[in-house]
Amino acid sequence: MSSPNLAELNCPSCRHTEILAIGGVVRRLTSLGMLRRNHDVEWDVLWELLKSSLGNLKCTACNHSGLTLSVGDKLDDEAWGAPRHCDGCDRPIDPERLNVLPDVRLCSTCQQRNEQGDTPQEEPEFCQRCGALLLLKPSRGPGITRYEYRCPECGAR
């Protein structure tokens, strides 16, 4: 992703708003003792910790406890003149395409693939025992046919 995730803390008392990127969220959670000095924390973990600590967070303007939270998934790049990114491949969409189709969410390449019925390839699954590529095969049980990944080398599921 080209833009960082954002969290918006709002004070119900004084209506103060604070927009935090990952660094600000880490700073706030560290000050509450909910996070140690680990700089490799994923956004999803930070988001859940921030949601669970809203009652303990204090407003920086009026010191009121109990803030509310809203999310800004990405910076509003379009408001700053940056091109819109494709939902399929995350590359910038051609500005001429956006002039003709202002609400388009896919680049021309991804749109063509979508119209032809090509689905994106899934990441290959590998066996945890031997590292061989897993194959999708029908299960051997009775009843409805179910599919499961199996290792052709060691037979693990």
Q: Whole-angstrom Cα distance, residue 157 to residue 152? A: 10
Q: pTM value?
A: 0.43
Q: Whole-angstrom Cα distance, residue 48 to residue 42? A: 10
Residue 120, pLDDT > 70, answer no
Relative orientation angle of helices 43-52 and 22-31, to the nearest 10 degrees: 40
Q: Whole-angstrom Cα distance, residue 139 to residue 50? A: 43
Find where tokens 């680990």 sit.
Answer: 38
The model's pLDDT over 57-99, given as tens digits with 9 standing for 90+, comes to 888 889 888 888 876 544 455 555 667 888 778 788 888 988 8
Give me the numbers of helices (H) and strands (E) for the chain, helices first please: 4, 5
Share of the chain above pLDDT 90, in %: 1
The model's pLDDT over 8-21, given as tens digits with 9 standing for 90+, comes to 888 888 888 888 88
